[in-house]
Amino acid sequence: MRGVLGLVLGGALAACTSPNPDFRRDGPGVVDSGGQTDYPSCQPACDKRECGPDSCGGLCGVCTAPLTCNEQGRCVQGCKPSCVGRQCGPDGCGGSCGTCSTPLTCDEQSGSCVSACTPDCLGKECGPDGCGGTCGSCNLPQICDETAGKCVGQAACGQITYQGCCDGQTLWYCDNNKLRSQDCAVQPSCGWDAKNKFYNCGTAGQTDPSGQFPLKCP
């Protein structure tokens, strides 16, 4: 009888003993006599969100096509960011193509990181503005003295050759060391005369195919 009772008690004790000594009766995940589970609760974070993850493994909702869910949990019109060739500035979809490192700033129109620069054209009518731009240009036969930023006369023909060049529809060329011009508006267009090998009026407006004599005047 004592042997049988020992086996029964031993089996009961074995059935009540956890194989994991660290798993205590008051530990997390244990179901008590009231049927309550002691797992830590997770509160979904869907405040002001209508889609996307709820931080508890679920969703705050889904969007109906063609709407898509953005990072803020809002359903928005489908948009493909456009950042090709852009370093910074808006991506066209409410996001950014990147930021610039100090002291560079973003030119949002071009999407390029540029030096913070204030153009300096005070007292200048031509030449560089100190920021990669220009303060203006001079009308031929004048040329720009870039040091002074002034349009000045030039000796003889300057950089213009006998082959000439075109300033819009005005033909400029050097003849016997004298700078001459001709209005091609009455006989368009100013361009390369392949037969005579110089720029002339009444052409198709093309440039010298050899590249030796540029179409545009310096």
**Per-10-residue mean pLDDT, the chain, length 218:** 47 49 49 54 87 90 84 82 90 87 86 85 91 85 82 75 93 86 92 95 95 91
Both 93 and 112 in one domain: the answer is: yes
Res 183: pLDDT: 94
Number of H helices, E strands in the chain: 1, 11
In this structure, is residue 74 part of a structural domain? yes
Within a domain: 66: yes
Looking at 27, 57, 78, the residue that finishes a domain is: 78
Domain coverage including residue 112: 86-116
**How far apart (Å, rounded) are the C-alpha atoms in residues 140 and 94?**
48
- Closest Cα to residue 191, out of 167, 215, 173? 215
Q: What is the pLDDT of residue 13?
A: 46
Assess if residue 170 is contained within a domain.
Answer: no
Q: Output the pTM of the full model.
A: 0.35
202 in any annotated domain: no
Torsion of CA 117, 121, 122, 126, to 10 degrees: 160
Whether 102 maps to a domain, the answer reads: yes
Q: Is residue 108 part of a domain?
A: yes
Q: Is 67 part of any domain?
A: yes
How many domains does one find in the chain?
Answer: 2
pLDDT of the residue at 171: 94
Please compute Rg for the chain using Cα positions.
41
Q: What confidence score (pLDDT) does residue 209 get? A: 94
Asked whether residue 66 falls in the same domain as residue 91, the answer is no
